[in-house]
């Protein structure tokens, strides 16, 4: 008997229209856990069936080493979803981080089996997930930031740090996770005995990174519990000053959550202060860049006049041109 393949079968246009027509609110959240997961395909299909019933949308990666999830849940199904998490041994008591700002973050459910839940691409002998850094609360992290000898490291890609980061943080100049760990180890060379403070969006990248640094000889490695997302909630709840300034970049349709009103970055087209990321309106380009409101209007949400001209063509003509190897459809 042929195995049923569980995946979305509707077009992007239909799914977006359905999302826009919803009469209820959604809760965007994220969670992760490093834990051994067996029978990956069975686990994947079980989650897909159960979460589809709850009308959950999102992007979930599972691997033998654990789970990494970003998703949105209808508000009326939130308690059912939390109960569902408790029904799976590998997900019981998992820390679920709720987004600061709501929005149309996802429009379909995607659950994929991966080799890693964070694509660092390092050998297994370079880390030990049983030995990771000390998890620090927002208050403890703020306290340790006062020590001028502490080294604060942003464990994200440069384009994420560009719109928001902790003050005085070391910001690696990398664009992919695979380049990050070797670069961080190189930047910290000679500081193996100093206190290291790691942070990332939700905590997952710091887990393996802290283990990697410890295995590399660093003796005092700490990480922000729950990442910037949880930190932002906790400082408000506890009345603490935010040492993170600007926006927190997120990997969904919202692209960011504002933490403070500071604008740290600049429009990539005119150089004026701006911190709104977007994907180029030319789908054949789709480059991620920062654009101010004025340039957004001037270039119709595109990164260049070439992309603007192409995006203004009828869809059918765009499709024909994309298939022509002699035509340049993007200047990015």
Contact criterion met (CB below 8 Å) for 238 and 138: yes
Name the least confident of 54-68, 101-115, 212-226.
101-115
Let me know the angle formed at the C-alpha of 280 by 279 and 283, rounded to the nearest 5 degrees. Answer: 100
Q: Which CATH number is associated with domain 12-113?
A: 3.30.70.100
Domain 124-233 has CATH 3.40.250.10: yes
Of 238, 258, 240, the C-alpha closest to 248 is 258
Residue 6 vs residue 71, higher pLDDT: 71
Does the pLDDT of residue 328 top 80, yes or no?
Answer: no
Provide the pLDDT for residue 220.
97
Q: Determine the average pLDDT of the residues in 202-211.
A: 95
3-class DSSP state for residue 324? coil
Query: Quick count: other Cβ atoms within 10 Å of Cβ 146?
Result: 8
Does the pLDDT of residue 5 top 50, yes or no?
Answer: yes
Provide the pLDDT for residue 242.
97
Q: Please report the sign of the dihedral spanned by the C-alpha atoms of residue 312, residue 103, residue 116, residue 159.
A: positive
Which sequence spans correspond to the domains of the chain? Answer: 12-113, 124-233, 265-332
pLDDT digits (tens, 9 = 90+) for 241-291: 999 999 999 877 788 899 999 999 999 999 999 999 999 999 889 999 999
Does the pLDDT of residue 142 top 60, yes or no?
Answer: yes
Provide the pLDDT for residue 137.
98
* 280 counts as catalytic: no
Does the pLDDT of residue 44 top 50, yes or no?
Answer: yes
Contact criterion met (CB below 8 Å) for 111 and 48: yes
Catalytic residue among 29, 200, 285, 292: 200
Give CA–CA dist 332/30, Å, rounded.
31
Provide the pLDDT for residue 4.
63
Provide the pLDDT for residue 1.
47
Of 227, 165, 135, 152, the C-alpha closest to 191 is 152
Q: Determine the average pLDDT of the residues in 51-80.
A: 96
List C-alpha distances in Å: 129 to 72, 81, 133, 209, 217. Answer: 28, 28, 10, 10, 15
Q: Six-digit token pair at 208?
A: 């393996």
Provide the pLDDT for residue 254.
82
Q: pTM of the full predicted structure? A: 0.86
pLDDT digits (tens, 9 = 90+) for 286-325: 999 999 999 999 999 999 999 999 999 888 888 887 776 6
| Dihedral, CA of residue 162, residue 153, residue 60 and residue 50, to nearest 10 | -120
Provide the pLDDT for residue 330.
54
**Which region holds residue 148: left if phi is over 0, alpha if psi is between -120 and 50, else beta?**
alpha
């Amino acid at each position: 008997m042929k195995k049923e393949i569980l995946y979305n079968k509707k077009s992007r246009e239909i799914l977006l229209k359905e999302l826009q027509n919803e009469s209820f609110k959604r809760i965007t959240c994220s969670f992760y856990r490093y834990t051994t997961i067996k029978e990956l395909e069975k686990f994947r299909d079980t989650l897909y069936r159960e979460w589809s019933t709850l009308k959950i949308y999102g992007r979930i990666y599972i691997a033998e080493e654990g789970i990494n999830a970003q998703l949105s849940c209808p508000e009326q199904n939130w308690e059912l979803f939390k109960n569902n998490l408790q029904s799976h041994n590998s997900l019981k008591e998992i820390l679920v981080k709720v987004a600061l700002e709501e929005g149309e973050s996802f429009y379909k459910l995607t659950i994929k089996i991966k080799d890693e839940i964070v694509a660092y691409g390092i050998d297994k002998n370079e880390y030990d997930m049983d030995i990771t850094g000390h998890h620090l609360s927002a208050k403890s992290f703020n306290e340790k930031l006062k020590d001028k000898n502490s080294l604060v490291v942003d464990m994200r890609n440069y384009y994420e740090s560009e719109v928001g980061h902790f003050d005085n943080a070391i910001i690696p100049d990398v664009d992919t996770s695979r380049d990050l760990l070797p670069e961080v180890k190189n930047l910290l060379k000679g500081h193996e005995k100093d206190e290291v403070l790691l942070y990332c969006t939700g905590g997952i990248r710091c887990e393996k990174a802290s283990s990697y640094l410890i295995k590399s000889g660093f003796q005092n490695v700490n990480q922000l519990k729950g990442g910037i997302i949880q930190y932002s909630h906790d400082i408000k709840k506890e009345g603490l000053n935010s040492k993170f300034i600007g926006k927190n970049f997120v990997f969904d349709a919202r692209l960011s959550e504002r933490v403070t009103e500071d604008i740290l970055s600049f429009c990539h087209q005119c150089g004026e202060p701006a911190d709104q990321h977007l994907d180029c309106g030319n789908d054949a380009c789709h480059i991620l860049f920062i654009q101010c409101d004025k340039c957004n209007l001037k270039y119709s949400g595109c990164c260049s006049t070439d992309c603007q001209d192409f995006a203004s063509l009828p869809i059918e003509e765009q499709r024909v041109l994309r298939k022509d190897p002699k035509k340049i459809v993007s200047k990015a």
